[in-house]
Amino acid sequence: MSDNHFQVSDLGEKKLIKRIINKLDNYESSKINKLFKYQIGDDAALINITNLINTDINIKNINDSIKCNEDLENNEKYLVASSDLLIQDKHFPKQMSYFQMGQKSVTVNVSDLTAMGAKPAGILISLAIPRDLNLIYFDEMIDGILNACYTYGIPLIGGDTNEADQIIISGTAFGTVDKINALRKTGFVKGDYIAITGEIGLASLGFEILKNENINIIKNELKEDKISGKIVDLAIEKALNPVSNVDEGIILGKFASSGTDITDGLASELYELYNSNNEIKKDDNLGLRIYENNLTNMPNFKEISKISKVLNKDSLDLILHVGEDFEILFTSSLDKDKIKNNLDENIDFFIIGEVTDTNRVELQYSDGRIVELSPKGYEHFAKN
């Protein structure tokens, strides 16, 4: 069957991106300068700032310039850039305020920099909004954007305004990172611990709670004191007010062997690391194994599990296959105490598994059984 019988939904988001990357090769001719490390497969693009400066055709004093660049070469720094586009009916639950939409649009973009260990430096935001949007809501959205910029210490430096049937917020965040500290998806070795920077599953539980069909069920359970109001609040907070912990990313960049942000579910992100490694080292047989026990031992897991059950959801499924937690998944050759020493003591982290030589992504259940994990994560255009 030829391509013209297929729709984009037959491929799904990840295969579409792969398709774009494959096409890139045809265009990587000599005409396009090679100053860039294409990182379309990574969380953000890395651009060598030194080379960017050298594109100048009018260097006044070539000797000074070369000397200068030698210095720069020594602590080689990347400009890091990443784009994320959010669409109202896909990314913003109905209960999300316009202020929160603005905030989230900045957070998702900053999160891609965090995932690279980069320090954010600025953001551009392009908006599309319905023409009948009340000006009060427009202001709220802009306030949310600017408030998040303030939180992350970055300026809003540009963008575009358009008309559309629903709200679309497209951002491009950029920042900087020293080459040696860039947190990549590759770099882990056998025996490395696999860890996450905070408990996950709360945001996806929050999205479940906020669904029309669930909100009254939860209210009744709360009334009868069957579930924890504190955890319900926390889950909703994580869903509506996601935050990217930039400082954790910067610290992890210095000692973690690899890392990424957990936006599409833990399983999906584990496969991101696994596949990225496979692409560059096809025969090292490295695999990633996580332990059910470590996930179920996280502080709020029991309560998350109880609430999930009320909503006919499996908490492990929420953790593995739904995302939006914006925590960082990382690997490190250091042991738990040394990771603790490297991370600020106020920063939580949980060891959830280890790098193996089994050449697959797997889950070890508490009864000892080991199964290959399904790569299913949140994916646009997915059939199911």
Binders of its own copies among residues 162 to 181 (CB under 8 A) are 162-165, 168, 170, 172, 174, 176, 178, 181
Is residue 38 within the footprint of its own copies (CB under 8 A)?
yes
Q: Which two tokens stand for residue 83?
A: 């784009």
Is residue 9 within the footprint of its own copies (CB under 8 A)?
yes
- Which is closer to its own copies, CB of 11 or CB of 311? 11
Distance (Å, whole) CA 160 – CA 125: 7
Is residue 279 within the footprint of its own copies (CB under 8 A)?
no
Residues in the chain, how many?
Answer: 384
Exactly one of 93, 95, 97, 122 binds its own copies (CB under 8 A); that residue is 122
Distance of closest approach, residue 229 Cβ to its own copies, in angstroms: 33
Q: Which two tokens stand for residue 302?
A: 């029991």
Exactly one of 95, 96, 106, 156 binds its own copies (CB under 8 A); that residue is 156
- Which is closer to its own copies, CB of 98 or CB of 350? 98
- Cβ within 8 Å of residue 98, ≥6 positions away: 137, 138, 140, 141, 144
Distance (Å, whole) CA 232 – CA 307: 8
Is residue 150 within the footprint of its own copies (CB under 8 A)?
yes
Distance of closest approach, residue 70 Cβ to its own copies, in angstroms: 9
Exactly one of 93, 97, 133, 190 binds its own copies (CB under 8 A); that residue is 133
Stretch of 114-122, 205-213, 267-275, 314-322 contacting its own copies, by CB under 8 A? 114-122
Is residue 158 within the footprint of its own copies (CB under 8 A)?
yes
Specify the amino acid at residue 384. Answer: N
Distance of closest approach, residue 62 Cβ to its own copies, in angstroms: 11
Distance of closest approach, residue 55 Cβ to its own copies, in angstroms: 6
Distance (Å, whole) CA 53 – CA 341: 37
- Cβ within 8 Å of residue 382, ≥6 positions away: 9, 12, 13
Is residue 143 within the footprint of its own copies (CB under 8 A)?
yes
The binding track of 227-246 with respect to its own copies, each residue x by CB under 8 A or -, is: --------------------
- Which is closer to its own copies, CB of 105 or CB of 308? 105
Distance of closest approach, residue 133 Cβ to its own copies, in angstroms: 5
Q: Which two tokens stand for residue 260?
A: 């990424």
| Cα Rg of the chain (Å, integer) | 22
Is residue 131 within the footprint of its own copies (CB under 8 A)?
yes
Distance of closest approach, residue 180 Cβ to its own copies, in angstroms: 9
Distance (Å, whole) CA 68 – CA 291: 50
Is residue 125 within the footprint of its own copies (CB under 8 A)?
yes
Of the CA atoms within 13 Å of residue 362, those in its CB half-sphere come to 17
CB neighbours (10 Å) of residue 57?
A: 5
Is residue 367 within the footprint of its own copies (CB under 8 A)?
no
Distance of closest approach, residue 300 Cβ to its own copies, in angstroms: 31
Site residues (CB under 8 A) for its own copies, limited to 42-101 = 44-45, 47, 49, 52-53, 55-61, 64-65, 67-68, 71-72, 74-75, 77, 79, 81-85, 87, 90
Q: Angle at CA 352, nearest 5°, toward 236 and 270?
A: 80
Q: How far apart are the first and last CA of the chain?
A: 22
Q: Residue 306 to residues 29, 150, 324, 366: CA-CA distances in angstroms?
A: 56, 37, 20, 19
Helix (H) or strand (E) holding 78: strand 77-87
Distance of closest approach, residue 238 Cβ to its own copies, in angstroms: 22
**β-strand pairing of 36-37 with 361-364:** unpaired
Is residue 24 within the footprint of its own copies (CB under 8 A)?
yes
Stretch of 95-103, 115-123, 323-331, 366-374 contacting its own copies, by CB under 8 A? 115-123
Q: Which two tokens stand for residue 128?
A: 């599309």
